[in-house]
Each structure stands twice: as C-alpha cells, then as structure tokens.
C-alpha cells in the first residue's frame, strides 16, 4: 500500500521517537488517517503512536479537537490558522509529546483561485513549545499524489518538531 521509501521514513521516525521516549498524535483532514496508518505499519509503533484524529469535516475539527467554529469560518478549513489549531487541539486532547496536523485540498475538485488543488497547510507542535507551520503547493498532481506528498512532509515536520 505504501512505498518502500515511505515505510523506511516512517520506520526511522518510529525508531528515533522510541529511542527518545516520545509519543505522537496526528490530526488529519485531507489525508483521512493515512499518516497514522503509515506509522502503524511499522512494528513497534505502539510505543510511539498514541492516537490519530481524522477530522475530515469542520464539525469533527470542532468536536474532536476543540477548534472554534468561528476560526474555521473566518479563515477556512484549509488555512494556517486552522492547521495550527488542529495541532494544538491534538496536543491538548492527548498525552503526547508531539502532534502533527494537515489540512488541504487534495482534489480533483474543491479548489479555488486562492486555495487551489494541491494546497496543504501543515502544523507540528511539541509540548515543549516548538510550533512549526508549513504551506505547500503541490499542484494538481492527482488526489493520491497530493495525499502521499502530504504524508511525506508530515513525517519531516514530526521529526523537526521533536528536534530529532
């Protein structure tokens, strides 16, 4: 299901988190749980992966992560503000050290001039205060490819937020 490159990247992340006694959570919109799915493909991931929040709808973002619905209305679900709030919410609703959040437009439809297909906002938050935001514009490369590129970038952000 996942490429050998992604499995290798996830395996290295799990090993490094485990060696450092760190736990993580994911808050996923456009990937629909694929980041958590990839991480749990790795043997030993139960020592690292605490939980994943699949918050595909705005209601789920509000109910599961505590995001103010006015924030979503003001900035839109695909925004820096919402990605940051998702990471904060995942951290606040779980006993983990690091959380990563993704929200984007995977396509093929749903894009606009200001938020085109392939736009993804990422946030990673560490309990010690590190907060990273990244905006990626992968382009209209196909739904599956946007989601795979998002998974790859999310793993990089988890490592950076944990300062590994």
Q: Across-strand partners of 98? A: 24, 126
pLDDT in tens, 18-49: 999 999 999 999 999 999 999 999 999 999 99
Which stretches in the chain have pLDDT values below 70? none
Residue with the two structure tokens 């209209």: 140
What's the CA gap between 118 and 111, in Å, rounded? 8
Q: How does DSSP classify residue 61?
A: H
- Quick check: helix, strand or coil at residue 33? coil
Res 25: pLDDT: 98
- How far is C-alpha 46 from the geometric centre of its chain's CA atoms? 18
Res 164: pLDDT: 83
Phi-psi map region of 79: left, alpha, beta (phi>0 left; psi -120 to 50 alpha): beta
Res 129: pLDDT: 85
Its pTM stands at 0.97
Is residue 152 packed enough to be buried (19+ CB in 10 Å), middle (13-18) or exposed (0-12)? middle
């Amino acid at each position: 299901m996942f490429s050998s490159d992604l499995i290798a990247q996830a395996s290295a992340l799990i090993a490094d988190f485990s060696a450092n006694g760190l736990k993580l959570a994911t808050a996923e919109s456009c990937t629909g749980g694929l980041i958590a799915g990839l991480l749990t493909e790795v043997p030993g991931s139960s020592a690292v992966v605490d939980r994943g929040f699949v918050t595909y709808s705005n209601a789920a973002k509000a109910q599961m992560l505590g995001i103010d619905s006015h924030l979503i209305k003001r900035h839109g679900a695909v925004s820096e503000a919402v990605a940051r709030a998702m990471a904060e919410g995942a951290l606040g609703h779980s006993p983990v050290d690091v959380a990563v959040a993704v929200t984007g437009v995977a396509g093929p439809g749903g894009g606009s001039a200001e938020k085109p297909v392939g736009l993804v906002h990422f946030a990673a938050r560490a309990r010690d205060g590190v907060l990273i935001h990244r905006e990626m514009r992968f382009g209209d490369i196909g739904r599956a490819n946007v989601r795979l590129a998002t998974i790859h970038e999310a793993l990089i952000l988890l490592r950076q937020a944990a300062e590994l």
